[in-house]
Structure 1
Amino acid sequence: MILWNDIAAHKFASLFLRPITDDQAPGYHSVVYRAMDLQKIKRNIESGAIRTTAEFQRDMMLMFLNATMYNTRDHNVYQLAHQMMKDAVSCIQASLLLLLVTFVA
């Protein structure tokens, strides 16, 4: 949950906190078949559906991929999703490195 909290505190996270509705993005659910958002990821962590960092990272990447797949490259949401994805990957990698260093030490 610490890792989720760090990513959910990102400056662009508000775009991804709740599920996307067709009112917000017309036709979204005809393009995106497996919608993902931070709220759903949090519920999956709490319920035990996400148990590993790899599963967490998979769902995070799906969330960003959905945003970049639906929006065109020149759209603001595409750009923000791409930047947040890079920051989230860095955060996940740092967390894994810290875990590895702690485990080896």
Structure 2
Amino acid sequence: AGEAEGGCAEERAVAEAVSRHLLRQGAGVLSRLRKHSDAWPFDAPVDPVAHECRDYYTIVTSPMDLGTVSSKLASGQYPSFWHFVSDVQTTFDNAMLYNPPTHPIHKKASRLASLFRERASRLLSPVANTLSGYAADPWPVACAHVLRSLLLREGSWPFLEPVDAHALGIPDYHEVIKRPMDLGTVARTLQEGRYPHAGEMAFEVRLVVENAMMYNPAGHEVHRLAKRLGEAFDQQWGEVCRVLDA
């Protein structure tokens, strides 16, 4: 029992060190992103009067901007790398939600979102290699690669953190959803080596999708994004299972 507890403690220490490392590296990515020629509309909170968009906060219910992200990073407010990723992606998703596809701001947000996903993905590649040293089989590494692609895919922002029912104004959420789950929690559980087998991770990813589709009606944007996320996961997971079970 002592050896098992020691191993778990070591894995947790590695996961925490990896998270701190990713946040430090994320600060560098964010700094370069803010200097990009397309970044100026996203560097401060939207002023609906100055920007002549008085309905902005009616449409955008989770406002975020890169300056706020930078301040939160500097003050250590992010408990994990995925909370940081969520805020950056929310910044661009908000801009694309409010502005139509032909609008210059929408186009700038789309370009920066793609650039951010690419740079964040580069940070995660060596992490998967680091964690693989603690795996006795290829499954944890395969899980990490699949999960990374889900976390960084466009439209994943509603699923990166636990649902805050109070902030979102949905007080009945926990009455409807009996077992809440999110991709950030899945990522932390995987990093800490707490999944007894790969199937448990797959179950919890599907739980994220099922919860979102259960709570939000078919015409809702989050329902649509969850459906796409589930389809992407099933395709990638099927490929992994075929290769590793062969």
Match of 1:53 among 184, 193, 198: 198
Gaps of 5+ in 2: 1-143
The structural deviation recorded for 1:8 is 1.2
Q: Counterpart in 1 of 2:232?
A: 87
Give the whole-Å Cα distance in 1 for the aligned partners of 2:169 and 2:237.
29
Give the whole-Å Cα distance in 1 for the aligned partners of 2:168 and 2:236.
29
Equivalent pairs, count? 101
Match of 1:19 among 162, 176, 180: 162
Give a deviation string over 1:17-73, Cα, whole Å, max 9, x none: 111111225021121111100111011112222132211110011111100111011
- Paired-residue identity, %: 24
The change in CA–CA distance for 1:12 and 1:30 in structure 2 (over 3 A counts) is same
Which one has more relative contact order, counting CA pairs under 8 Å at least 6 apart? 1
Return structure 1 stretches of 4+ with deviation > 3 angstroms. Answer: none
Establish whether residue 36 from structure 1 lines up as the match of residue 181 from structure 2.
Answer: yes
Gaps of 5+ in 1: none
Contact 1:18 1:38 in 2 (8 A): yes
Root-mean-square deviation over aligned CA pairs: 1.4
Contact 2:146 2:233 in 1 (8 A): no
The change in CA–CA distance for 1:100 and 1:25 in structure 2 (over 3 A counts) is farther
**Bigger CA radius of gyration:** 2
**1:49 match: secondary structure:** coil
Match of 1:68 among 208, 213, 231: 213
What amino acid is aligned across from residue 10 of structure 1 in structure 2? R
Give the whole-Å Cα distance in 2 for the aligned partners of 1:93 and 1:25.
36
Between 1:69-78 and 1:3-12, the stretch displaced more is 3-12
Q: Normalization by structure 2: what TM-score?
A: 0.39
Contact 2:156 2:225 in 1 (8 A): no
Give the whole-Å Cα distance in 2 for the aligned partners of 1:57 and 1:42.
12
The change in CA–CA distance for 1:25 and 1:54 in structure 2 (over 3 A counts) is farther
